[in-house]
Amino acid sequence: SHLRSTDIRTDNSPLQIFVKAKKKINDIFVEIEDYVQDTVGFMKSLQAERNIVTAEEGERIESYVDKVHAIRDVLKRDHMKVAFFGRTSNGKSTVINAMLRDKILPSGIGHTTNCFLQVEGSDNGESYLITEGSTEKQPVQSVGQLGHALCKEKLCESHLVRIFWPKEKCLLLRDDVVFVDSPGVDVTPNLDEWIDKHCLDADVFVLVANAESTLMVTEKNFFHKVSTKLSKPNIFILNNRWDASASEPEFFEQLVKEQKEVRAQHQERAVDFLSRELKVYTPKDAEERVFFVSAKETLQARLQEQRGQPSHNGALAEGFQTRYFEFQDFERKFEECISKSAVKTKFEQHSQRGKHIATEIRQTLDEILDRTQKMKSEQLHIKKEVHDKLNYTEQQLMLLTQEMKDKIHHMVEDVEQRVSKALSE
């Protein structure tokens, strides 16, 4: 039932932009590979027969076989990457779990994320983890086990543990989205290392802020650093724990009023940060990047739905539905943003290179064709010359024979005349 409920989204999910583009560019590279192979075969046959193709040309074209193959390998591994940052306990791991619709990452007290965790889809329904520098697949059956495995590893905070989770359990994983969870930005002096190691190929960044407090200098600094290394990073700001943000005033009206004010203030600061400070968006576009959500509620609701129970079981706080919709709204905008960005950053380069290879091969083939045509016309020319010469000789011979005939004729006539003259005399 869990897959059924998410299936509905499949066809119109903006992630399909990336999925379809990936399929298309893969198909194109299969064609390019065929084309290169054919050309290599053709050139070999030419080389064997005559000296129409130079050894250099042959080698150059043959080198494209490996190049195209390497691109196809990279293409297979290309994915969309989203990285989550924020201060400790803001709910980064919970946000990821909510998006994955399952408690995959350990969260909460005693489960502080202390290194980089990358969640990606696995085939064949396998779940396992691989630590940095190792190729060993450590099987993981549950979150508890995962938490345990992570604790015993004694990992350095900038290290990366890759968690492979069955693709069929989550549409985002199936559609090649890779999630990166991080330790709190407030606990490390190594932000530069973090950025170099984990952020340069991220398509989208999500700042998980705490709606109960304002954006902190450490959080801002991190994104300032990111934007010096990446021009115009895609950033979303989630004001998480929005369910817990209101104080507990006596009257409902009071609560609504307070929440409105708090929201307006957070919104203004976040927009200001994205537009005026980081200069990554116009204020108008920045408005679209800020959300007020509760990851905890969303995750709970989704787990409930999967059990076939209503998402709202009455125990949830006031305003749950609005926050839940806002989380879904965030996901939709996120999916659109990440798939478009990934298509651009990942496939633009590949298509340029594919184009370049096709052009190079075409040029070489054109040159070869040119050369063979020249050779052909040269041969024709020689043939014609010989032909002309033959004609001339033939004509000369004909003339010559005619002349001789005439001469002999004359001679005979002359002799005849002389003989008859002599006889008559």
For Mg ion, the binding residues (CB under 5 A) are: 92-93, 113
x-or-dash string of contact with ligand GTP, 142-181, rule CB under 6 A? ----------------------------------------
Q: Which does 269 bind (CB under 5 to 8 A by kind): ligand GTP, Mg ion, none?
A: none
Give me the least distance between CB of 94 and ligand GTP, in Å please: 3
The answer to whether the Cα torsion of 93, 74, 343, 349 is positive or negative is positive
Q: Other C-beta atoms within 10 Å of 109: how many?
A: 6
CB of 78 to ligand GTP, least distance (A): 27
CB 293 within 8 A of CB 238: yes
* Helix 295-306 and helix 2-10, axial crossing angle in degrees, nearest 10: 110
Toward ligand GTP, which CB reaches closer, 273 or 292?
A: 292
Among 93, 122, 259, 275, binds ligand GTP (CB under 6 A): 93
Q: How far is the CB of 206 from Mg ion (least distance, A)?
A: 13
91 makes contact, choosing from ligand GTP, Mg ion, none, with CB < 5 to 8 Å by partner type, with: ligand GTP
> Of 88 and 221, which CB lies nearer to ligand GTP in the complex structure?
88
Provide, rounded to whole angstroms, the least separation between the CB of residue 122 and ligand GTP. Answer: 22
* Contact of 98 with 302, CB cutoff 8 Å: yes
Report whether 203 contacts 80 (CB < 8 A): yes
Which of these ranges, 44-52, 107-115, 143-151, 352-360, lies near ligand GTP under the rule CB under 6 A? Answer: 107-115
Distances (CA, A) of 414 to 417, 422, 424: 5, 12, 15
41 in contact with ligand GTP (CB under 6 A): no
Q: What is the token pair recorded at 309?
A: 């129970």
At closest approach, how far in Å is the CB of 94 from Mg ion? 8
CB of 116 to ligand GTP, least distance (A): 11
- Give, as ranges, the residues between 238 and 257 that touch ligand GTP (CB under 6 A): 240-241, 243-244
Only segment of 64-72, 141-149, 288-296, 349-357 that touches ligand GTP (CB under 6 A): 288-296
User: What distance in Å separates the CA atoms of residue 55 and residue 347, rounded to the nearest whole number?
Assistant: 33
Q: Should residue 233 be labelled a site residue for ligand GTP when binding is judged by CB under 6 A?
A: no
Residue from 107, 158, 339, 364 binding ligand GTP (CB under 6 A): 107
- Min CB(93)–Mg ion separation in Å: 3
Nearer to ligand GTP, 162 or 241 (CB): 241
User: Could you give the angle at the alpha carbon of 51 between the alpha carbons of 46 and 57, nearest 5°?
Assistant: 70
Q: Which is nearer to ligand GTP, 107 or 158 (CB)?
A: 107
Using the rule CB under 6 A, is 218 a contact of ligand GTP?
no
3-state helix, strand, coil in the chain (%, to 5): 65, 10, 25
* Residue 300 interacts with ligand GTP (CB under 6 A): yes or no: no
Would you say 71 and 42 are in contact if contact means Cβ atoms under 8 Å apart? no
Closest separation in Å from C-beta 302 to Mg ion: 18
Candidate residues 122, 239, 294, 341; the one interacting with ligand GTP per rule CB under 6 A: 294
- Exactly one of 34, 76, 108, 264 binds ligand GTP (CB under 6 A); that residue is 108
> What CA–CA distance (Å, rounded) separates 358 from 353?
9
- Tell me which of 22, 79, 81, 92 binds ligand GTP, using CB under 6 A: 92
How many whole angstroms separate alpha carbon 326 and alpha carbon 267?
A: 14
Minimum distance of Mg ion from residue 165's CB (angstroms) = 16
What is each CA distance from 22 to 165, 344, 347, 376, in whole angstroms? 21, 11, 8, 45
Compute how many other C-beta atoms are within 10 angstroms of the C-beta atom of residue 340.
17
The Cα 412–Cα 416 span in angstroms is 6
Backbone angles phi, psi at 307, to 5 degrees: -85, 5
From CA 241, how far away is CA 31, in angstroms rounded? 50
User: By CB under 6 A, is residue 354 in contact with ligand GTP?
Assistant: no
| CB 33 to Mg ion: min, Å | 43
Letters for 111-130 (x = contact with ligand GTP by CB under 6 A, - = none) are xxx-----------------
Helical ranges in 243-319 per DSSP H = 252-272, 283-287, 295-306
Q: What contacts 149, CB < 8 A, 6 or more positions away?
A: 129, 138, 140
Q: Which residues bind ligand GTP (CB under 6 A)?
A: 86, 88-94, 107-108, 111-113, 183-184, 240-241, 243-244, 294-296
